[in-house]
A and B are shown apart, each in its own frame.
Chain A
Amino acid sequence: MEFWVTQTFNGISYGALLFLLAGGLSLIFGMMRIVNMTHGSYYLLGGYVALTVIWKTGYFALAILAGALAIALIGVGEWNAFLKRLSGQELGQVLTTMGFALIFQDLALIIWGGDPYTIPVPRFLSGAYQIGQLYFPVYRIFIITVAAAVALILWLVLEKTRVGAMMRATVDDPEMARGVGINVHGISMVVFALGAFLAAVAGVVAGGFVGVYPGADFEILPYAFVVVIVGGMGSLKGALIGSLLVGLLDNFGKALFPELSYFTLFAPMAAILAVRPTGLYGRV
């Protein structure tokens, strides 16, 4: 019983982290059909920038904000200079963004070195709640709260505001959206910035419990992709359900079948795609 509760809790908190990472990626996919291999780098760089900020100032909240804003700027720059003219060319996108991922990887190694770091978290976020024999780390509850808040805000923006309606229109049919006078270029830029911003937030938050280390970018990238393809590109609901599904499968897979853990994660994903190639909530 304890095992199931603990593993479910861990799975949900990992899913929450994945949602932060993949929610923006899903919108980017759905809206611009850009395959972005740099998304994992945003996650890694966000963590590193936050680490530097926290070393200099000591404020955790400031570190999250600074890391996320810096990475959003980098993302927009990359999109503006290279990616937006590659629309519809998957191979070109994969190779260009892979090039950036390698460059960012090496730059991070030059600037921050090869040692793993953990982002120091404020005292009120450390420790654990105890219920009977069960321990629930406060930090994991914090991650779930952040993800829930981001999901709620994204949902409100997408469903209740004018900009959100424009975004949905652009996801559904970019040409028609442009035809009725929506600034698709501007909207795309905002969405790309948002995606990079959230990936960096995920990186900072993850830095508090799994740490920031070289290689984290390519370790997390396949997870983000799998969440997006299983949930369906461009669907917020899909990203949310996909994240929880991947988080839980990953945790139970590692706990129950350690030798086959990635198999138990990726094989069900492939099975879902075999039945629904556009993902659970994706539109054709």
Chain B
Amino acid sequence: MRSALFSGPRVVVIVFLLLLILPPFLSSFLLTLLTQALIYAILAMSLDIILGYTGLASLGHAAYFGLGAYSVGILSTRYGAGFWIALPAGVLLAVAVAAIFGLVALRATGVYFLMITLALGMVVWGLAHRWVTMTQGDNGISAIPRPDLGLPWSLAHSIPFYYFALAGFLITFWILRVIVRSPFGQTLVGIRESESRMRTLGYHVWLHKYIGFIIAGGFGGFAGVLWAYYNGFVSPVDLQLATSVEVLLMVALGGRGTLLGPALGAAIIVFLKNLVSVYTHRWLLILGAVYILTIVYAPEGILGAVKQWTRRANSRLLRSEV
């Protein structure tokens, strides 16, 4: 019944083509925002593996982003490490820390899970903030060089770097899509819906959650690696509590339990923050209002609202045809 013009896959293909073709014609400001949006989209999608698919809200996801970013910052400015060392180092560090934190955090659910992930996130933030000899504290690490991949185009320029981030986004999207559609991903959804039922059916619930937690951490670290290269600068702000909550907002705003939803949410927040701050200093007021309005008017996110709307439209269509 759905009008074929606006079918989901078709919209996605159109958006993808626009992302591919349009950038060289955009202003450098918009291109910058688009690059940021792609990197935050990776972070938001990774969070959604535990939030949307497994049903566990984490208040410490920025920690993995920070671990990836600081790995790049420290390795490349101190040791002159290149991309092919910094990338695996950042991702592996995030994976290792997620593997340790997961052991602690997954003993709890609900509010307790929120609070434990918050405390764990603060551990990492505290190191970034106070371990000055390693992280340079609040000054952050600056002058991180753009990676040299031996390509004919230098990633120091904004258009090649955009395509680099787009590649990272697409790879992440593809891998996560394979994961959530696999029996493993479907089991995570089952755990979200009813943990006790999945346990009764003989699934190893804890192990599934644990692996999901580590996957989320690893891709969070990957986003952090790209962020450090993009921004050329890392500071404790990148992994503070407010950043973790902002990623939660991105996922909730776009739509939990989908991959494109969080990506959409990330893009909206990145554009909103930057465009609003061009016109007014009061962007915190507006961001605060977005938080509240999202929960009041679109508790299932934009994709959730769209789904509900098309379902309602379809049933109306059916009724009128009868």
Q: In chain A, residues 180-231, which have Cβ atoms closer than 8 Å to a Cβ of chain B?
A: 218, 221-222, 225-226, 228-229
Binds A, one of B6-14, B106-114, B314-322: B106-114
- Check B130 against A98 for contact (C-beta < 8 Å): no
- Check B131 against A94 for contact (C-beta < 8 Å): no
- Check A270 against B285 for contact (C-beta < 8 Å): no
Residue among A35, A82, A86, A266 with max Cβ neighbours from chain B (10 Å): A266
Give the distance to chain B from A64, nearest Cβ to Cβ, in Å: 27
- Check A103 against B248 for contact (C-beta < 8 Å): no
Give the distance to chain B from A3, nearest Cβ to Cβ, in Å: 20
- A99-B288, A107-B285, A263-B127 as given contacts; A91 in contact with B252, CB under 8 Å: yes
- Complex CA distance for A99 and B293, rounded to whole angstroms: 9
- Complex CA distance for A103 and B294, rounded to whole angstroms: 15
Could you give, for residues 274-303 of chain B, a 1 whenever the CB lies within 8 Å of some chain A CB and a 0 otherwise? 000000001011011111101110010000
Q: Which of B57, B103, B240, B241 contacts A91 (CB 8 A)?
A: B57
Give the distance to chain A from B155, nearest Cβ to Cβ, in Å: 34
Binds B, one of A42-50, A52-60, A141-149, A273-281: A273-281
- Complex CA distance for A251 and B60, rounded to whole angstroms: 24
- Check A218 against B241 for contact (C-beta < 8 Å): yes
Count how many chain B residues have C-beta atoms less than 8 Å from C-beta atoms of the other chain. 47
Q: In chain A, residues 212-270, which have Cβ atoms closer than 8 Å to a Cβ of chain B?
A: 218, 221-222, 225-226, 228-229, 233, 258-263, 265-267, 269-270
Q: Which of A109, A225, A259 contacts B118 (CB 8 A)?
A: A225
- A225-B118, A260-B131 as given contacts; A105 in contact with B245, CB under 8 Å: no
A-B contact pairs, 11 of them (CB 8 A): A35-B115, A89-B299, A95-B249, A95-B294, A98-B242, A103-B285, A106-B282, A106-B284, A259-B132, A274-B103, A278-B112
Chain A residues in contact with chain B, CB under 8 A?
29, 33, 35, 37, 82, 86, 89-92, 94-96, 98-103, 105-107, 109-110, 218, 221-222, 225-226, 228-229, 233, 258-263, 265-267, 269-270, 273-274, 277-278
